[in-house]
Amino acid sequence: MYVREFREALEEAESILAAAGAKSRSKELHSFIDLLRAHDEQPVKAFLGDLRQRLNGLKPPPRPPKGVNEQTVVRYVERLRDASVDRGIFDRVLAELTKDKSVRKGEADAIAHRYTGGRDKWPKKADALRAIADWFAREAYQAVKMKQVDKATPV
């Protein structure tokens, strides 16, 4: 889905709010719609990712050095992030990443950098892959801790 389609759906919602008399909500939605207008041809997922990074004060990911296959980097980073804290899915993606001959050191560095948000280069490809595994383990541990906190917190 592209931003244009999303914006058009929001414009319909805005007109419904305005017709229902919810003027302040309509104005707030209109401000967001104006923000979307300049990005009509961008996929919604990419736009929201960029927006999330800006709101979090992060810079968009740097372009990888020449010779690095950007599509491979993006594909693996998305798959790693989609795995979230699911060990089975993560292990399959990491195994495929490790065996993939098209992933050279440059791609591994770029994938690890984008996935972990850390440094941009490692001494060896194996070090970058280890950083990915370490990051996953840390995130999974944090998720388990938060579940325990949620259980212990009275509602």
How far is it, in rounded angstroms, from Cα 68 to Cα 121? 13
For residues 94 and 133, the answer to whether their CB atoms sit within 8 Å is: yes
Q: 105 pLDDT band (50/70/90 cuts)?
A: very high
Where do the domains of the chain lie? Answer: 3-55, 70-152
Candidate from 1-10, 24-33, 96-105, 133-142 with smallest mean pLDDT: 24-33
pTM over 0.75: no
Q: How far is CA 10 from CA 7, 17, 59, 135, 138, in A?
A: 5, 10, 27, 37, 38
Lowest mean pLDDT among 18-22, 33-37, 50-54, 55-59: 55-59
pLDDT higher than 90, residue 35: no
Model confidence band, residue 106 (pLDDT cutoffs 50, 70, 90) = very high
